Structure 1
Amino acid sequence: MLTEEERDTIDENLDNDGNGINRKTNSGVWARFINVELKEQGKMVKKAEGIRRYKQFSSGSNNASEFNSSGGFEQMKCREIIAKMILAHELPFSFVEYHWFNEFMTYNNPAYQKVSRETIIEDCIRVVEAEREKMKKVLQNVDMISLTSDCWSSNQTVRYMCLTAHFIDSDWKMQKRVIGFVELAPPYSGEVISDGILECLSKWGIQDKIGTINLNNASDDERAIAILKNSFEGKRKLHFEGMFFHVRCCARILNLVAQDGLRTIDCCLVKIREGVKYLRKQSDRLLKFGEMARILGIETSQSLFIDVQTRWKTTHRMLESAIHYKLAFKGYALRDPNFEWSLTDDEWACAEKVCKVLKVFLDATRLFSATSYPTTNLFLTEIFKAKKVITSAYISDDIFLKKMSAPMYDKFVKYWGETEVLMSIASILDPRFKKVSIHWTFGRLYPDNELSDRVEYVINKLKSLYEKYSNAFQVTRAANSNSTSTSTEAPSVSARQEDDFHAFLKSRPVKNTQKTELEVYLEEPNYTYFRNMEFDVLKWWSQSSSKYPVLSTMARDIFCIPLTTVDSESSFSGGGHMLDDYRSSLSKDMVELFVCGGDWIRSASNTTIQTLEQSTKEEENLEIQIPTSDAAFHRHERPTLMHIF
């Protein structure tokens, strides 16, 4: 790339028409250009053109050009990048045949040769196969993997299951990779789902490394979990003593709870939704609404919002923005006789109560859906906020809140009971929290007469788990020691004579006063940090792994457990594009190849790569800016309602 100084040097040596002129060209930049004559607008002109370094393949090659060590163009490398672009961004294969794409490519380098759809498919296969080999090597070095899975039906009514592996790599970084996009045969039973998962794990050779599986709450999934757990238990490969084998999707539970809350104000939501649509339909209505808000002293920089009814987060945002403009809605309704969607004071009050409750769920969902950092250690203190707000509503004297929270409370209490031990242990393994977190949380959730027993139950589970890891660590260390210190020499006479005595010494009970890693860790002061300071719990355990070899291994396994199936669900966007009307003939193996390959390429990139669907969602016209007129203010007049209507 040219520097600004180099560009200025070139500009100084060209006349206004872009023609070269006879000036001295002492600058070193001119070594990178040659003088050429080109025909432009019917006349020949002189130009300075950059030297393109490339050379042709031999006549026996099918490729137009090859890589030049001096930094030139390489057709095969270019095709590889295009294949990765198509896979990562979920573009159609026919993209390479688009006229303006090829115009762009040949403009950048005339050596580029157009590629057909069939050729780029073959390139995509080669790219994905290369990525698959890299993935196999990575997974071979991982001790434990957590899975998330979800199912989806294509527009050809074929049901697919996505399987995502979550693990912490050798550099103590959170990783997630889609390892299966499997077509399920009807009748989509628990047996079919479990068989699909086992087959996928077998292909990767990781069937003995699975610690937890995160599925939704469907009855078929429940049966699949039972079958899988029995299979792993039979092979004695059930991690965590089977305590955490099935982790329910936290986001799905919060979604169900949120829907219960929104259902209580369906009438209000309909009025708000239709009212916003009415205002958006004509620009003059929005302008009048904006001026009404301005006169009432309402900040108009906040937009109105229209929701997607199947996504409760957008409904909450619509509700939140409408509450901000509550007085403007009231004022507008009084002056526009065609506005039929005005809420009563009681309805506004109910909407505000629901909005306040759901805000806690929204914050929790955002936190738990992250994939770049562990979330199990954050669950206890964060979910406490959600449980607290539901419980407060459930025991409230407010009739509306009590009725609203009843179904929410039942769902949440059931989920809390299933995850309490896992999340408590994960919180203890965060050096900032340790036992303080469970004492603090449990003390606010349970009566005093239950507190001690509940804390003791969690600590006992933690100790039992630690003993399992400690025993496994000792076995591994002993095996490594034996393999490096084996000797073929026969024992001496004196050694044989002392065998009985040493056997006697070993048989005597020895009181071990040395503290375990767990005891040392728990007795040490909590790690001190500032609330606004970034804290990397994985980095802390990585740096402490020599001091706590057993605990660090346990922490690594627990912190890689995901709380949601968001990653598996997001892969269906790729499946949707891969299985459109133009690709419905692709085999199931090809579909899996391309969906998984796209995920691997996106994950390997150091930048955020958006798929086509993600970009489309961001462009959805859900946000509505509120216009206002400043004319009256520029005339130093205060606008009145007569100015507006």
Structure 2
Amino acid sequence: MTMASSNTPIPVDDGFNEYESAVKRQKSTTSKVWDEMTKLDCENKNELKAQCNHCKTIFSAKSSSGTSHLRRHLNSCLKKVNKDITQYTIAIQPSPEGVPSIKNYKFDADECRKAISTFLVCGKHSFRTVEEPAFRYMMRIASPNFKNISRHTAARDVLMYYAKERDRVKEELAKAPGLICLTSDNWNSEHTNDEYICVTAHWVDKDWKLQKRIIRFRALFPSYDGLNIADELILCLSQWGIDKKIFSITLDNASYNDVMVSSILCDGAFFQVRCCAHILNLIVKAGLELADDVVGKIRNGIRYIKKSGIRRKRFYDVADKSFHLNVTKKLRQDVCVIWNSTYLMLESSLYYKDVLDYWGQRDKDYQIFALSNEEWRNVVILCKFLKVFYDVTCIFSGSNYPTANLYFRGVWKVHKILLDTVKGSYSFLTPMVKQMQEKFNKYWAEYSLILSCAAILDPRYKLNYVQYCFNTLYGVHASDFVETILSNLRLLFDEYVKKSKSTSSSLGGSCNVSDKNPVDSGLDEHNDNSADFGGYFDESDDYKRYLNESSTRSEKSQLDIYLEEPELELNSQIDVLDYWSKSLIQYNELSLLARDLLAIPISTVASKSAFSMGKKVITPLRSSLKPKTVQAVVCLDDWMRVKGFSAEIGCKKDNEDDDDDEDDEDDDVSSVAF
């Protein structure tokens, strides 16, 4: 193998330039007559024909003949039908942000192609859709001037659309007023066996709104270890120009993530945060293993009922007519590896408890799954116990609102219920809770300092709430925990104060130094006599230093003033970002610190939700899609969400369940469980 010369630059496939090539492959502009003419296939390939779309007249379309005769015909034909192509108008209904909403506008082929790209991406449609006769019929009715495109052209359009939107997102990241937080996770496609990495950026914009964008959904090259993933992440940050703006990264507790983070930490430039939802998942699963008997009965019983369409229909008929239940709330079948789907299954079984008992009395095959009264009582207790974990997981899994400030209260609730339950009277829960406590102590023996600081910056909690929680849990040892958190918050705040002062001094240093105070100028004229007093001495600098020191000693910091103010009501519904945006004048540096801390996501759900989308993009029939096309589709779908095209992936409400769509019942919990 020959080595490259040291003087020869080695090209780097950075994942950006590959999309620019799609623009270069774009065909040169053709004559406008083909917007109104259709090329016909002939037996003799050397002979080409064209048919007018209006009068259906057929003409020769040889390249040697040119298009002048076709243009002359169109001018005559369009006059007859009283239709001017250049002024053709269509009606547009109110639409999402970024799309023309005027009622009349000139037909624009580029805008139409862009709309088709949006349709394909946000609807997870195959590129082959544009070649289906029904789609082309729809387009011909909606826009007679639109020229049909092939699936290859549609794919190139999506890549070009991605390239344009990528530049816009890159500009948004560059303009982010604060630091940027990341979430990252890996996913393996079962159809292609490719390992994908998803990186999502989170930040608070100038309007103090939490933003998130997927900036990478790219296939990795083997081996999938921490060092290779670190290289991929570093390359990603460099491409987007945000390698100097990263504040934190949220990951699950996979071992390769520790290797990855240790290799890219820039002298502690950003924090590593464990995915709290993932840790909660491990804790609850450890406990549920010991309650598998009663859970297994319910799981198998529901599977038996739902396995037959006739049984399922009869079950809901009995529930409706005999027990007068709302059958839009369905029996849920869990996914064994997703604990919160198990909780939802238990909850739904309690709702249909009477119906299930009734069914067990009349169906001999179901009797082996029927629960006794004592088992039902245990299910009720177990459900109440798991509800705390379910609620905390749902709160932790949010991606459209700040979660860092909610971390401390959520963890405290989990810790408190474990302590209370192990001392309680429910003996059947004791072994399970002890198992869960071991997992809890393993992952949360020490509360995350950076996220505890974020809790203090929530005006509902502040320091008093943190002290209360630690006093409840640790008694006399609580002060050590509180002091550690507070000292770290002060250190972090001091960094923001220094940064603010350096920024102010750099701005002040740009002033014109020749603009002197007249009095100072008069004093400077006598500086020659200063030698009589033992050499030159300018007391003004020393006096300013004295004033700064005395000011520092006498004035309280913004953090101290904030902590001394009374807390808001504990359960009040407030927008924490809105609170700090309004406090920007009063707490300048502290508001900037709060903005960055509150942008930290405490779960990787924002990245994991992309995998649900990835499963719909990479299907058995679309397993040949190139990785760059997959990235373009996934990222575009996420970016279009901001414009209102795509709905956020999340849990369905009970009244939205569709019993005929079993896959949806599994998907609706995958976005918050792991």
Matches of 1:188 and 1:262, distance apart in 2: 31
* Match in the other structure for 1:520: 561
* Match in the other structure for 1:213: 249
Q: Any unmatched runs of 5+ in structure 2?
A: 1-80, 89-100, 531-535, 666-674
After TM superposition, give the deviation of residue 464 of structure 1 in Å: 1.4
Matches of 1:208 and 1:94, distance apart in 2: 42
* Match in the other structure for 1:555: 594
Which amino acid in 2 is paired with 1:518? L
Given candidates 140, 148, 160, the residue that maps to 1:114 is 148
Secondary structure of the 1:573 match is helix
Cα displacement string for residues 456-480 of structure 1 (whole angstroms, at most 9, x for unaligned residues): 2222121111111111111111111
Matches of 1:95 and 1:301, distance apart in 2: 34
CA contact (8 A) 2:460 2:571 kept: no
When residues 623 and 83 of structure 1 are mapped into structure 2, their CA distance, relative to the original with a 3 A threshold, is closer
* Match in the other structure for 2:489: 462
When residues 495 and 517 of structure 1 are mapped into structure 2, their CA distance, relative to the original with a 3 A threshold, is farther
* Match in the other structure for 1:471: 498
After TM superposition, give the deviation of residue 259 of structure 1 in Å: 1.6
Cα displacement string for residues 16-62 of structure 1 (whole angstroms, at most 9, x for unaligned residues): xxxxxxxxxxxxxxxxxxxxxxxxxxxxxxxxxx99874189xxxxx
Moved more, 396-405 or 280-289: 280-289
* Match in the other structure for 1:148: 183
* Match in the other structure for 1:124: 158
Matches of 2:194 and 2:302, distance apart in 1: 38
Given candidates 591, 595, 599, the residue that maps to 2:634 is 595
Which amino acid in 2 is paired with 1:146? C
When residues 519 and 87 of structure 1 are mapped into structure 2, their CA distance, relative to the original with a 3 A threshold, is same
Given candidates 431, 434, 441, the residue that maps to 1:413 is 441
Cα displacement string for residues 360-379 of structure 1 (whole angstroms, at most 9, x for unaligned residues): 11111111211221111122
Which amino acid in 2 is paired with 1:86? L
Which amino acid in 1 is paired with 2:555? Q
After TM superposition, give the deviation of residue 570 of structure 1 in Å: 1.5
* Match in the other structure for 2:10: none
* Match in the other structure for 2:464: 436
Cα displacement string for residues 565-585 of structure 1 (whole angstroms, at most 9, x for unaligned residues): 111111123333443445444
How do 1:80-95 and structure 2 match up within 5 A?
A: 80-95=114-129
Matches of 2:409 and 2:83, distance apart in 1: 60
Matches of 1:302 and 1:88, distance apart in 2: 28
After TM superposition, give the deviation of residue 72 of structure 1 in Å: 3.2
CA contact (8 A) 1:89 1:610 kept: no
Cα displacement string for residues 429-451 of structure 1 (whole angstroms, at most 9, x for unaligned residues): 1122222321232232222x112
After TM superposition, give the deviation of residue 613 of structure 1 in Å: 13
Secondary structure of the 1:372 match is coil
Matches of 1:267 and 1:548, distance apart in 2: 56
CA contact (8 A) 2:330 2:657 kept: no
CA contact (8 A) 2:281 2:339 kept: yes
After TM superposition, give the deviation of residue 592 of structure 1 in Å: 2.5
How do 1:534-549 and structure 2 match up within 5 A?
A: 534-549=573-588
After TM superposition, give the deviation of residue 178 of structure 1 in Å: 0.9
Secondary structure of the 1:545 match is coil
When residues 224 and 495 of structure 1 are mapped into structure 2, their CA distance, relative to the original with a 3 A threshold, is farther
When residues 287 and 606 of structure 1 are mapped into structure 2, their CA distance, relative to the original with a 3 A threshold, is closer
Which amino acid in 1 is paired with 2:661? E
Matches of 1:421 and 1:165, distance apart in 2: 22
Secondary structure of the 2:203 match is strand
Matches of 2:351 and 2:104, distance apart in 1: 61
Given candidates 116, 119, 139, the residue that maps to 2:173 is 139
When residues 52 and 499 of structure 1 are mapped into structure 2, their CA distance, relative to the original with a 3 A threshold, is farther
When residues 391 and 293 of structure 1 are mapped into structure 2, their CA distance, relative to the original with a 3 A threshold, is farther
Secondary structure of the 1:338 match is helix
When residues 418 and 194 of structure 1 are mapped into structure 2, their CA distance, relative to the original with a 3 A threshold, is farther
Matches of 1:478 and 1:547, distance apart in 2: 20
Given candidates 647, 671, 674, the residue that maps to 1:609 is 647
Given candidates 565, 568, 572, the residue that maps to 2:604 is 565
Which amino acid in 1 is paired with 2:563? L
After TM superposition, give the deviation of residue 161 of structure 1 in Å: 0.8
Which amino acid in 1 is paired with 2:86? K
Matches of 1:132 and 1:123, distance apart in 2: 14
* Match in the other structure for 1:158: 194
* Match in the other structure for 2:230: 194
Matches of 1:140 and 1:329, distance apart in 2: 58
Secondary structure of the 2:400 match is coil
After TM superposition, give the deviation of residue 137 of structure 1 in Å: 1.3
Which amino acid in 2 is paired with 1:262? L
Aligned residues: 554
When residues 265 and 141 of structure 1 are mapped into structure 2, their CA distance, relative to the original with a 3 A threshold, is same
When residues 371 and 290 of structure 1 are mapped into structure 2, their CA distance, relative to the original with a 3 A threshold, is same
Secondary structure of the 1:568 match is helix
Moved more, 545-554 or 455-464: 455-464
* Match in the other structure for 1:403: 431
Which amino acid in 1 is paired with 2:291? I
* Match in the other structure for 2:13: none
After TM superposition, give the deviation of residue 599 of structure 1 in Å: 1.6
How do 1:205-354 and structure 2 match up within 5 A?
A: 205-229=241-265, 232-233=266-267, 238-239=269-270, 245-280=271-306, 281=308, 283=310, 287=314, 291=318, 302-339=329-366, 340-354=368-382
When residues 118 and 335 of structure 1 are mapped into structure 2, their CA distance, relative to the original with a 3 A threshold, is closer
After TM superposition, give the deviation of residue 269 of structure 1 in Å: 2.4
Aligned-pair Cα RMSD in Å: 3.5
TM superposition score normalised by structure 1: 0.78
When residues 589 and 326 of structure 1 are mapped into structure 2, their CA distance, relative to the original with a 3 A threshold, is closer
After TM superposition, give the deviation of residue 506 of structure 1 in Å: 5.0
Cα displacement string for residues 192-239 of structure 1 (whole angstroms, at most 9, x for unaligned residues): 11111111111111111111111111111111111122xx11xxx714
Moved more, 549-558 or 98-107: 98-107
After TM superposition, give the deviation of residue 303 of structure 1 in Å: 3.4
Moved more, 184-193 or 163-172: 184-193
Secondary structure of the 2:419 match is helix
Matches of 1:495 and 1:419, distance apart in 2: 60
CA contact (8 A) 1:466 1:554 kept: yes
* Match in the other structure for 1:359: 387
Matches of 2:613 and 2:557, distance apart in 1: 48
Which amino acid in 1 is paired with 2:262? A
How do 1:492-511 and structure 2 match up within 5 A?
A: 492-494=524-526, 499-505=537-543, 510-511=549-550
Secondary structure of the 1:55 match is helix
Secondary structure of the 2:509 match is helix
When residues 129 and 495 of structure 1 are mapped into structure 2, their CA distance, relative to the original with a 3 A threshold, is farther
CA contact (8 A) 1:90 1:612 kept: no
After TM superposition, give the deviation of residue 395 of structure 1 in Å: 3.3
Matches of 2:354 and 2:556, distance apart in 1: 65
Which amino acid in 1 is paired with 2:378? C
When residues 504 and 213 of structure 1 are mapped into structure 2, their CA distance, relative to the original with a 3 A threshold, is closer
Matches of 2:437 and 2:203, distance apart in 1: 33
Cα displacement string for residues 109-149 of structure 1 (whole angstroms, at most 9, x for unaligned residues): 22222121121122212211111111121111223111111
Secondary structure of the 2:489 match is helix
Which amino acid in 2 is paired with 1:192? N
* Match in the other structure for 2:18: none
Cα displacement string for residues 46-102 of structure 1 (whole angstroms, at most 9, x for unaligned residues): xxxx99874189xxxxxxxxx999523222111111112222332211121122122
Answering whether residue 411 of structure 2 is matched by residue 376 of structure 1, we say no
* Match in the other structure for 2:453: 425
Matches of 2:451 and 2:649, distance apart in 1: 33
Which amino acid in 1 is paired with 2:242? I
CA contact (8 A) 1:160 1:181 kept: yes
Instruction: Indicate the percent of aligned positions where both proteins have the same amino acid.
Output: 33
Matches of 1:391 and 1:192, distance apart in 2: 42
Cα displacement string for residues 474-531 of structure 1 (whole angstroms, at most 9, x for unaligned residues): 1111111112344498974346857433344356584330111111111222246873
* Match in the other structure for 2:614: 575
Moved more, 312-321 or 570-579: 570-579
Moved more, 571-580 or 514-523: 571-580
